[in-house]
């Protein structure tokens, strides 16, 4: 890349960082088949892009706009109310399944007994002899 080309471009675009971004954008456009506005002269795309910028054969403002569009991210925004409704429905479904499971464990379908019994009464210690019998 000729120093003369870069120095010519700096006269058009004073900020070197902006120049790099714009030249890179134009170079990418050339690599995907954009029409050349200057002769290639066996130069690579970045050099051709710089020559186009120096000769003002491309519109810098259009390239800036394309850079901005390329850097923007369009994320899906979820509706918080809709998400809250889904969570509430899942919570209710989970509560219903837990109640059904507790009722099945209680045997007679009365969930209130299972929920109010102390843990000691629900889980009883068994002797070592009973454990050996189960094995």
The whole-model pTM stands at: 0.53
Complete domains list, the chain, with CATH: 3-70 (3.90.940.10), 82-122 (no CATH)
CB 86 within 8 A of CB 45: no
List the one residue out of 65, 73, 72, 74 whose CA is nearest residue 21: 65
State the pLDDT at residue 50.
94
Tokens representing 112 are: 């209130």
Average pLDDT of adjacent 10-residue blocks, the chain of 135 residues: 76 92 96 94 93 94 93 75 88 92 76 53 74 77
| CA pair distance 86, 71, nearest whole angstrom | 33
State the pLDDT at residue 123.
67
> Which residue is listed with tokens 């491309």?
58
State the pLDDT at residue 6.
86
| CA pair distance 94, 23, nearest whole angstrom | 57
Counting every residue, how long is the chain?
Answer: 135
Tokens representing 62 are: 């259009």
CB 106 within 8 A of CB 113: yes
């Amino acid at each position: 890349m000729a120093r003369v080309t870069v120095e010519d471009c700096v006269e058009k675009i004073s900020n070197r960082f902006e120049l790099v971004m714009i030249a890179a954008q134009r170079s990418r456009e050339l690599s995907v088949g954009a029409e050349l506005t200057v002769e290639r002269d066996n130069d690579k795309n970045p050099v051709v892009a710089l020559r186009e910028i120096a000769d003002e054969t491309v519109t810098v403002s259009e390239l800036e706009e394309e850079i901005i569009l390329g850097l923007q991210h369009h994320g899906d925004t979820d509706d918080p109310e809709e998400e809250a409704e889904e969570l509430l429905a899942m919570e209710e479904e989970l509560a219903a399944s837990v109640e059904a499971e507790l009722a099945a464990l209680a045997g007679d379908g009365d969930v209130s007994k299972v929920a109010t019994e102390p843990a000691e009464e629900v889980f009883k210690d068994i002797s070592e002899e009973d454990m050996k019998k189960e094995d």
